[in-house]
Amino acid sequence: MKTYFTRMGDASVTFMAEDEIRNDISDAVALAAKKGKIPPLTQEDMDHLFEIITMPGNIVGVNPGDEIVSTSDSQSDKLFLNTGLSLERTQQALVHERCFGADSIDLGFPDYNFKAAKPCAGTESLAAKNGLNQLIIPFLYAGMPNLGFYTKPDGPVENWAELLPDGKIEEALAAQEAAVDYAVHDMVYIAEKMYKIGMDGINMDTAGASGDADFLAALKACEAIRTKFPDMGVEMGMAGEYVLGMHGKLTYDGVRLAGLYPHKQVALAEKAGATIFGAVVNTNSNKSFAWNIARSCTFIKECSNVSNIPVHVNVGMGVGGIPMCEYLPSDVASRADKALVEICKIDGL
């Protein structure tokens, strides 16, 4: 029986027969459609996905003319973080522009969250200016809202992740609500500094990582930034395909945030004024690449269908169908990208 080279969600190599791949695709599509209450991929989409997964060759690509653009999450520090190459962040950004062909690049604080960056906003502005003078590509300032950092001992509010299991529900909800205000303040503060130095945009990375309160903080900060600085772009990238209900009752524009999937998340991001939405679908390490990319495509296709703003799918480690491992295998990474472009009609990666 003919089998095809592919990988599991943890990047380990496996060989699968046609019916195994097709079954994984249809199972994953059905599950995603049920969870998200969204249309499944069409049979044509699933057949096309099978073709992509089983294409010969290591790297696959889209047709000439169908290329899309790229954004990144704090990529200007990733060369150092991932390889130990001791380059200053502006130099790293230039490497991305002049060697890697990046369409945009982010500047991010080494302790990659807005709370930690805030006291250093002055020196961050200087690094931003150095980059802006030398770079041609759009330059964004990136950070994580990361509401968890506002909890004790790192921050001023009680830790709701400890209060909830102890049954202290009211205290846990109040702590999250307080943390939202602190986080919004810090994000708007940094955005103002960056806007005044000339940055093209702000990237809120992993919005929703600490649950629905975290997502609310990103939405409120986005709204404030776009009101104060209407010509500053805001990219809002999510942490997961599902907004965890750590609070459960928080709303934005009358919509409860807990339990939202990408097609509902993007609507609120758009309402808040975001100009780019970074959709996320998490990889299951125990399932095949076929299962993971089929699931991703089902969620992302609907997200892209309903969105009026560009959708840039997160395709890093453990998201967007990509396996959960440090070194991304180019065979499945390129297949994930091709599938997302051709089936989901996304605007960027």
Near other proteins in 39-58, by CB under 8 A: none
Is 187 or 258 the residue whose CB approaches other proteins more closely? 258
- Binding range to other proteins, per CB under 8 A, among 16-24, 114-122, 178-186, 240-248: 240-248
Query: Among residues 263, 345, 324, 333, which one has the least CA distance to residue 299?
Result: 263
Tell me the number of residues near other proteins by CB under 8 A: 80
Supply the minimum distance, in Å, between the C-beta of residue 211 and other proteins: 7
Residue 206 interacts with other proteins (CB under 8 A): yes or no: no
Q: Which of 35, 48, 118, 271 binds other proteins (CB under 8 A)?
A: 35
- Binding range to other proteins, per CB under 8 A, among 19-27, 39-47, 131-139, 294-302: 131-139
Report which DSSP code applies to 312. B
Residue 134 interacts with other proteins (CB under 8 A): yes or no: yes
Supply the minimum distance, in Å, between the C-beta of residue 43 and other proteins: 25
Contact 208, 262 (CB under 8 A): no
Supply the minimum distance, in Å, between the C-beta of residue 170 and other proteins: 9
- Binding range to other proteins, per CB under 8 A, among 19-27, 42-50, 115-123, 158-166: 158-166
Q: Which of 56, 64, 84, 254 binds other proteins (CB under 8 A)?
A: 64
Write out the two tokens for 82: 């991932």
Query: What is the sign of the dihedral through the CA atoms of 223, 225, 230 and 233?
Result: negative
To the nearest 10°, the Cα dihedral for 101, 55, 33, 259?
A: -30
Q: Which amino acid is at 26?
A: S
Distance, in Å, from the CA atom of 79 to the CA atom of 99, rounded to the nearest integer, reads: 12
Place of tokens 């982010």: 106
Query: Among residues 301, 310, 263, which one has the least CA distance to residue 68?
Result: 310
Distance, in Å, from the CA atom of 260 to the CA atom of 265, rounded to the nearest integer, reads: 6
Supply the minimum distance, in Å, between the C-beta of residue 343 and other proteins: 15
Which residues within the stretch 161-200 sit at the binding site for other proteins (CB under 8 A)? 161-162, 164-165, 167, 169, 172-173, 195-200
Residue 315 interacts with other proteins (CB under 8 A): yes or no: no
Burial label, 67 (beta-carbon count in 10 A; 0-12, 13-18, 19+)? exposed
Distance, in Å, from the CA atom of 343 to the CA atom of 302, rounded to the nearest integer, reads: 11
Report which DSSP code applies to 147. G
* Burial per residue of 35-62, b for 16 or more beta-carbon CB atoms within 10 angstroms, e otherwise: ebebebbeeebbebbbebbbeeeeebee
Q: Which amino acid is at 139?
A: F
Supply the minimum distance, in Å, between the C-beta of residue 2 and other proteins: 25
Residue 14 interacts with other proteins (CB under 8 A): yes or no: no
Is 22 or 263 the residue whose CB approaches other proteins more closely? 263
Is 54 or 69 the residue whose CB approaches other proteins more closely? 69
Q: Which of 6, 26, 70, 92 binds other proteins (CB under 8 A)?
A: 70
Which residues within the stretch 248-307 sit at the binding site for other proteins (CB under 8 A)? 248-249, 258-259, 274-276, 282-286, 307
Which residues within the stretch 75-114 sit at the binding site for other proteins (CB under 8 A)? 97-98, 100-104
